[in-house]
Amino acid sequence: MSGRALEVLIVEDEMLLAIELEHLIEEVGCHPLGCAMSSEEAVALAQRLHPDLALVDVHLSDGPTGVDVARKISQDCGGVALFMTANVKRLPEDFAGACGVIGKPYSEHGVKTALSYLAHCLREGQAPGPTPVGLTLAPAYANLWGLDQNLGQTA
């Protein structure tokens, strides 16, 4: 991690999922910054802590506000958002500025692989290879990280 571990904010209203995500984040050598359960909490934490990456569920304790959270984090907080949702098809086409999505239900290995992959992308500005199973990149980020979109997107 070029000296510094990737700092990750969790935006998830299911406590059990959030706690398990913290473990996974630590296991791949990143640093969990904390967990927000509502959009208000998420934006406040992001503004204060400036995470490198925010894992954002679409349905939060105050409703389907995750999309707005992702947009705010990428526009105002200088961080990169990654959706984690069961409703991949309902995301806006531009991914609300987020770099991609991990579809629920994800596996332990799926999340770890995706996090390591994104850590590399964020550090090097370049993808280390095709996107791993379970991760779908937003078209803008696939471009940014030098992926042919047809190869970059998982089916």
Partner 1 sequence: MDDYSESRRAGDRLAAGHGIDDPFAAAIRATRMAMIVTDASQADNPIIFANDAFLKLTGYERDEIIGRNCRMLQGPETSRTAIETLSRAVAAGEDAKVELLNYRKDGTTFWNALYISPVRNDAGEIVYFFGSQLDVTDKKTAEAKVLEHRDGLEQVVEDRTRELTDALEQKTALLHEVDHRVKNNLQLISSLLLLQTRRVPDPALKASLKGMLGRVNAIATVHRRLFQSEDVERFDVSAFIRDMVADLMGSAGRDDIEMQLNLERVDIPAAKAAPFALVVNELLTNALKHGFPEGRGGRIFVGVSRLNGDFRIEITDNGVGMDKQASGFGLTIVQLLCQQLKAKCETTDAEPGTRVLVLLPVNGAH
DSSP string, the chain: -TTSPPEEEEE-S-HHHHHHHHHHHHHTT-EEEEEE-SHHHHHHHHHHH--SEEEE-SSBTTBS-HHHHHHHHHHHSS-EEEEEES-GGGS-TTGGG-SEEEESSP-HHHHHHHHHHHHHHHHHSS-SSSPPTTEEE-HHHHHHTT--HHHHS--
CB of 94 to partner 1, least distance (A): 21
Mask for 124-143, x = binds partner 1 (CB under 8 A): --------xxx---------
Does 87 bind partner 1 (CB under 8 A)? Our answer is: yes
Contacting partner 1 (CB under 8 A), which of 92, 94, 107, 129? 107
Contacting partner 1 (CB under 8 A), which of 1, 5, 14, 122? 14
Contacting partner 1 (CB under 8 A), which of 26, 92, 109, 123? 109
CB of 113 to partner 1, least distance (A): 6
On whether the CB atoms of residues 47 and 9 are closer than 8 A, the answer is no
Stretch that binds partner 1, among 15-23, 28-36, 72-80, 121-129 (CB under 8 A): 15-23
Give residues in contact with partner 1 (CB under 8 A). 14, 16-17, 19-20, 23, 86-87, 89-90, 103-110, 113, 132-134, 155
